[in-house]
Chains A and B, each alone.
Chain A
């Protein structure tokens, strides 16, 4: 803990920054970064609900992302409950009520704000990186991973809750590692059984009736997944933003979220969803299996049922892991060929999500802390903008959008930029 001298610097540098004081500037950057994370959360997860409907042609790509965006917006507003204690699952920044720990609140909450900012940057950078490679990975795990990293850097090993106190499923192990291993398997089993039943029941039914019926069922079940996503994920950003406001002394109520926080977070996740993470939609819809409407319905029903029942039973699952497991299961249940190499790449990405986002979060904290104060926050934010711009420009070399999201998997511009790497050396 060598933050104290730098916090002093923060105050000293404040006058040089002009119109706003250091704490306010840091807070503004944290809020902007939280909304940016929420936006990446939206487009990173569009495919979880809509990839199968897009791949089977049940919905036109742009209609699908618009429908998902609206449902995410509605879902975000449905969540009246306050997810202020979201970080409590993995780090020791807040007490039981959600109020920040007193020792982190000196100098306008600079210490806590820097940890939150660095963690958010870790989450965004990992989300963009996996999006660039078309890999669905959990946005929630990226956020919590980033926070684990920045907390470890800021408060040391003891700042992180690794296993909880033994009374419930808790900590990094209980809330992240175990569910990440178990949830895809559950979803796979449910979708496989559902697919097997559907094909067994309808094998004598003509194609015409199947196509229409299952497309309707597929869109309905995918809509449920979108709605559930809006309710769960937008809440997390709202919780982090409110935590930052409390740390900066701009909000005191731990039972409520300011309305503008709710409005802006709901809008950010909906806009992100509407943008459509086409690279990830493509991998999920076309990369794993060749999907039929019946399989799509089985997969989305499995996702909806597993996500809803797990949140009901207090077993925190990642929508991404569930959706991927479900799609794989709908291939297994039909004994259809599955591209296990693509699935393997996804699993590898899941396995390194927590440490990778954590590493970026920790690095950002060290950078911000060694510069100190509001200027440290400004530099971290600038690094985020630079990295994001760089990754976006890389993505333009092999763009994937509504026009080519459903192209045959082989023989198209690869969703992996690795194929363009050889060209890099030419430039």
Chain B
């Protein structure tokens, strides 16, 4: 039975971290793709559906389809900035992944005491 307890405990942690990085980062990446399309102007197709909350927030940010922007086809600087910000977050996540791989290969472990990534011996 002890194995089941340990396994469920490990599984819960992997699920939480997995959701954060495995689903969260792709979502940030998707935000970047969306922002880049808006930033370039004309990357989007008109969406006649009522936008959901996220769409509203993005629409406000990019001035798209909300009537605040007179020319929705013009490139938006803000969109590009947000896009590259999103991609930077994703690259940061990938670098963290690489660090974990290299660290475990070297017999080290990456810990986050106080939020600062630190190497310790396994």
Contact = CB atoms under 8 A, between A and B. Distances in A.
B54 A170 contact: no
A315 interface: yes
Interface residues of A, number: 64
A182 B104 contact: no
Contact of B33 (A190, A210, A221): A210
A206 B73 CA distance: 13
A11 B25 CA distance: 61
B33 A205 contact: yes
A258 interface: no
A221 B101 CA distance: 13
Interface in A308-337: 308-315, 317
A234 to B, nearest CB: 10
Contacts of A171: 3
B21 A309 contact: yes
Contact of A186 (B15, B31, B33, B110): B15
Interface range on chain B (Cβ under 8 Å from partner):
35 or more
Contacts of A249: none
Contacts of A313: 10, 13-14, 17
Contacts of B32: 213
Contacts of B2: 163-164, 166
B43 A206 contact: yes
Contact of B14 (A163, A173, A315): A315
Interface string B54-69: 1100000000000000
A198 B105 contact: no
Given A80-B106, A182-B7, A213 B33 contact: yes
Interface string A172-209: 01100011001100110111011001101111111011
A78 interface: yes
B29 A217 contact: yes
Q: Which of B6, B13, B26, B36 has the most CB of A within 10 A?
A: B26
Interface in B1-51: 2-4, 6-8, 10-11, 13-15, 17-27, 29-34, 36-37, 40, 43-45, 47
Interface of A: 75, 78-81, 163-164, 166, 168-171, 173-174, 178-179, 182-183, 186-187, 189-191, 193-194, 197-198, 200-206, 208-210, 213-214, 217, 220-221, 224, 227-228, 231, 294, 297-298, 301-306, 308-315, 317
20 contacts: A78-B102, A79-B104, A79-B105, A178-B7, A182-B8, A189-B19, A190-B22, A200-B52, A201-B30, A203-B47, A204-B44, A205-B43, A206-B45, A209-B37, A209-B43, A224-B98, A298-B23, A301-B26, A309-B18, A315-B10
